[in-house]
Amino acid sequence: MPDNPSVQVVHSIPGRFRVKSRVFTNPALDPDYVTAFIAALPAVFQVRMNTGSGSIVVEHDPGADVRDEIMIRLKNLPNEAFLPEAPRGSGPDLFEVGTRTFAAAITPFLPRSLQGPFSWALSIPTLMNGAETLVTEGLKVEVLDASVRLMSLARKNYFVGNAVGAMLSMAAYLEESSTRQANDLLKNLLRPQADRLRVERDGAEVLIDSDQAMVGDIVICGPGEMIPVDGLVISGEASVNACSITGESSPVHARPGIEVLSGGIIEEGRLRVEALNVGKETSMARIGKFLEKSLRTQSGHQRWSNTLADRLVPLTFGIGLGVYALTGSAARAASVLAVDYSCAIKLATPVAVRTAMYHAGQNGVLLKGAQALEALGSVDTLIFDKTGTLTHGLLELTDILPLEDFTEDEVLALAAGAEEHYGHPVARAVLKAAREKNLSLPPISQVDFIVAHGVSAYVDDKRVLVGSRHFIEEDEGISCTQVDGKADLLQDEGKTLLYMALEGRLVALMALRDTLRSEAGDTLKALKASGFNHLVMLSGDQPRPVHAVADQLKELDEVHAGLKPEDKARIVARLKEEGRKVAFVGDGVNDSPALLSADVGICMSEGADLARDAAQVILMKDDLKGLVLARSIARDTARVLHNSLWSAVGINSTLLVLAGTGRISTLTSAALHNASTIGILAYAAMNKGEQDALQS
């Protein structure tokens, strides 16, 4: 990368400006990375780059002060934006395609004296590209294209040469436009949200953009807010819903000295957190990794098809030379050279893959690269982390066991009255149950929320306590042994217990359970039908709630509970050693080792940032049916690629025979070849998966 590249604004109006720089014409520059690098900025709406002219057009919110930041980024592009080992170029645009088509159409009507110079001038870029390719890479498709043009010019068949050039330009444009469409969607899906956070600055709380946070900032997090940084709690206590981070369905207690990770939700309480890991550089590195996986990688099938295509080019060239040696006909040789297996074989794969990624993204499934798509179509074993994937990670009240002379409704009304203004997930479950029964809640006073323990309140001047056994028995000294037998039975069913006391005595035991996703059962059946022959559930929770969930899902073949993150990764490794191809579905930081070690890592929509980074597939909608859709698209893509390959081989082999035997002319040969290529591309571009059936 050049030092301090000159980037100049050449045109500007409110909300839109164009910049130019020689660095933008660098063949090693990755346009997709650069446009995403700028589009990731808040207030930027659209970025368009033209490497041919070395310019970038940026559209942004005219009321936002974002231009300086854009210019700083363009003048300091990271090394990841340059790929010297894989130069890229922008393909022909629609104007070029139209120009070449028009030039071919008018060629027969030009004076004969002008047709030659006109056609030679049009062919120079193709001829130079073919010569350069021959010297640097050997016999490739560019050499065939140049040979056909050269032979047509040598035979003074100028219309044929120019028509072939127009057809090649059209084929290249179709590939470029299809790829660009899919890439634009991916970049939009990866655009980060412009989050804001509260920090202490000079003794006061101020609201800033998340990318302005600095290491060492004191970040303030209150009820209902997401923790925006990785940091150390320096004061305050809170109950944190860390389901997406730890995989635990119950909230965790955060207090001074405890490290917290971004993504956790403050259910109750308030924290002052010293930021340890912040900055737009970390965010941009994550975006860069996403883009690198999504836009730069090739699947094994694509590498294989490229290798096959390259090997067939010398075959075509050799047949053309053989035909000329046997017949002495340059026309037949040119007809043979106009037929190239590699066009359809090479182009169909990226078009089908990008189109599949595009339609998957439109339907809420982000596939981070061609390898993820290919692997998803071939895996046979699917592993689920329980919490947040097969279950919602939300609690619902399932049992009320009143003591003394209380009724269930009386107990529920008392508990809901005490919990009414408590933001804890347990409180929400109790209130939801009371509302469903249309219960009138008693007036309360002197409410005291004890973080991560429970709530104390006065109802009709009587003290009501609702919370954990630890809170009721150890903190308040109220015995709970009288319900031990019932408590054990409820725990055996995988339920969380809630105790309630009134005026110093235990009056009720309640039970709650994490809710199974309504679509989980049908999704597992559909996944089995799609070819997964082994479904596994893993969890860090205790065995009782895990097996209670498993009892509701008859399609599971294997269940493990009480696991640490490294245990999950070991199970993935063991299944792979058995010869299985494994996909893992998770959403927490604790799932990252397993997501990385699986053949395909799949993250739920509300997954932690680290899990989203580690996964190759992200379900953008909070619905397991996205798995079925992703599997369908992956397998449908494999079928499309198989059909495209053998169609290309069959059609082009037939054309070679016809061209070699003189049955078709050079123009007809080129027209049929390019028509078949475009047809195969159109077939590949229609690859959408069986969406309608799955979404019904």
Would you put residue 321 in left (φ > 0), alpha (ψ -120 to 50) or beta? alpha
Residue 11 main-chain phi, psi, to 5 deg: -160, 140
Residue 213: exposure state from Cβ atoms within 10 A (0-12, 13-18, ≥19): buried
DSSP string, 394-414: EEEEEEEEE-TT--HHHHHHH
Specify whether the CB–CB gap between 647 and 344 falls below 8 A: yes
| Crossing angle (nearest 10°) for helices 67-75 and 31-39 | 150
Residue positions counted in the chain:
696
Helix (H, G, I), strand (E, B) or coil at 5: coil
Residue 385: active-site member: yes
What are the structure tokens assigned to 420, written together? Answer: 């009414």
Question: Which residues face 275 on adjacent strands?
Answer: 231
Which of 145, 139, 117 shows the shortest CA–CA distance to 314? 139
Chain centre distance of CA 258: 31
Q: How many helices (H) and strands (E) does the chain have?
A: 24, 24
Torsion angle, alpha carbons of 365, 368, 369, 373, to 10? -40
Which segments of 503-590 are extended strands (E)?
Answer: 505-516, 534-538, 558-560, 582-586
| Rounded Cα gap, residues 182 and 352, in angstroms | 10
Burial profile 578-589: b = 16 or more Cβ within 10 angstroms, e = fewer: eebebbbbbbbb
A 10 A CB-CB count for 437 gives 11
Question: What separation in angstroms does the CA of 113 have from each of 101, 121, 163, 238, 604?
Answer: 21, 14, 19, 86, 67
The one catalytic residue in 30, 385, 609, 636 is 385
Question: What separation in angstroms does the CA of 318 have from each of 311, 312, 335, 408?
Answer: 12, 10, 13, 88
Specify whether the CB–CB gap between 555 and 521 falls below 8 A: yes
What are the structure tokens assigned to 616, written together? Answer: 């190759």
Which segments of 106-225 are extended strands (E)?
Answer: 196-201, 204-209, 218-221
Residue 15: exposure state from Cβ atoms within 10 A (0-12, 13-18, ≥19): middle
| Rounded Cα gap, residues 674 and 85, in angstroms | 30
**Residues in contact with 272: Cβ distance below 8 Å, sequence separation at least 6, in sequence order:** 200, 218, 219, 220, 233, 234, 235, 236
Which segments of 168-251 are extended strands (E)?
Answer: 196-201, 204-209, 218-221, 230-241
| Rounded Cα gap, residues 391 and 615, in angstroms | 19
Residue 535 main-chain phi, psi, to 5 deg: -110, 130
Helix (H, G, I), strand (E, B) or coil at 447: strand
Supply the residues annotated as catalytic: 385
